[in-house]
Amino acid sequence: MKVAFICTGNSARSQMAEGFAKYYAEKFGKDVKIYSAGSEPSGYVHPLAIEVMAEKGIDISRNRSKSLEDVPLNELDYLITLCGDAAENCPLIPGANTQHWELPDPAKARGSKEERLRKFREVRDKIEEKVKAFIGEI
């Protein structure tokens, strides 16, 4: 089974989803290949995404921002978009079950570092809840 999480920049939401999906696939003993990509890759993984995932014991510090070309789109069983832009700009994949999880972009949060971390944690926790349920069901 192959699953891809797509957002615009592949710097935060889809990176966190990829990290949680790999974690829960292993924990639940699921044979799933997990990908993430961006419709317009940022070229980096957001440092605050790395930080809040580390708080959960998941290391995404070696991940890189990837484009749709880095994902075997025509082999996917599930394509999950995490923002409206990605949902509108992702190609239709014949045979793939497409889902859309609308999540706010924590990278757009403003304020002090603690205020931005609070937003990243909020989005991270929503992603974890959705990914855990999804991996448990497939």
Active-site positions read 7, 83, 90
Which residues make Cβ contacts (< 8 Å) with residue 75, sequence separation at least 6? 2
The residues facing 80 across adjacent strands are: 5, 99
Give dist(CA 70, CA 57) in Å, integer.
Answer: 26
Pick from 96, 62, 107, 102: nearest CA to 81: 102
What's the rounded Cα separation, in Å, for the pair 137 and 135? 5
Contact 135, 24 (CB under 8 A): yes
The residue with tokens 């944690």 is 121
